[in-house]
Amino acid sequence: MYSYLVRRIITSILVLFGVSLLVFSIIHLVPGDPVTAMLGRQNMNAETVAQLRQQLGFDDPIPIQYWHYLTKALQGNLGSSIRNYIPVSDAIAEQLPSTIFLAFSALIVALVVGFFLGLVAALNQGSWLDTLAMGVSVSGLSIPTFWLGLLLILFFSVRLGWFPSISDSNNASALLLPAFTLGLPEAAVVSRMVRASMLDVLSKEYITAARAKGVSQAAVVFKHALRNALIPVVTFVGLQMAYLLAGSTVVESIFARQGIGRLAVRAISSRDYPMVQGVVLVISVLYVFINTITDITYVFLNPKIRLK
Q: Which stretches of the chain bind other proteins, using CB under 8 A?
A: 11, 14-16, 18-19, 21-23, 26, 29-31, 138-139, 141-147, 150-151, 153-154, 158, 165, 242-243, 245-247, 249-250, 253-254, 264-265, 267-269, 273, 276, 280, 283-284, 287-288, 291
The answer to whether 202 and 273 have CB atoms below 8 angstroms apart is no
Which CB sits closer to other proteins, 158 or 218? Answer: 158
Longest dimension (CA), the chain: 86
Nearest approach in angstroms of CB 25 to other proteins is 8
Nearest approach in angstroms of CB 283 to other proteins is 6
Which CB sits closer to other proteins, 31 or 63? Answer: 31
Nearest approach in angstroms of CB 210 to other proteins is 31
Which CB sits closer to other proteins, 74 or 158? Answer: 158
The answer to whether 184 and 148 have CB atoms below 8 angstroms apart is yes
The answer to whether 88 and 56 have CB atoms below 8 angstroms apart is no
Which CB sits closer to other proteins, 29 or 307? Answer: 29
Nearest approach in angstroms of CB 275 to other proteins is 10
Nearest approach in angstroms of CB 143 to other proteins is 6
Nearest approach in angstroms of CB 250 to other proteins is 6
Query: Among residues 90, 64, 62, 96, which one has the least CA distance to residue 77?
Result: 90
The answer to whether 300 and 252 have CB atoms below 8 angstroms apart is no
Which CB sits closer to other proteins, 128 or 307? Answer: 128
Q: Which residues of 299-308 are buried (b: 16+ CB within 10 A; e: fewer)?
A: beeeeeeeee
Q: Which residues of 45-64 are buried (b: 16+ CB within 10 A; e: fewer)?
A: eeeebeebeeebebeeeeee
**How many angstroms separate the CA atoms of 132 and 83, rounded?**
51
Which CB sits closer to other proteins, 145 or 226? Answer: 145
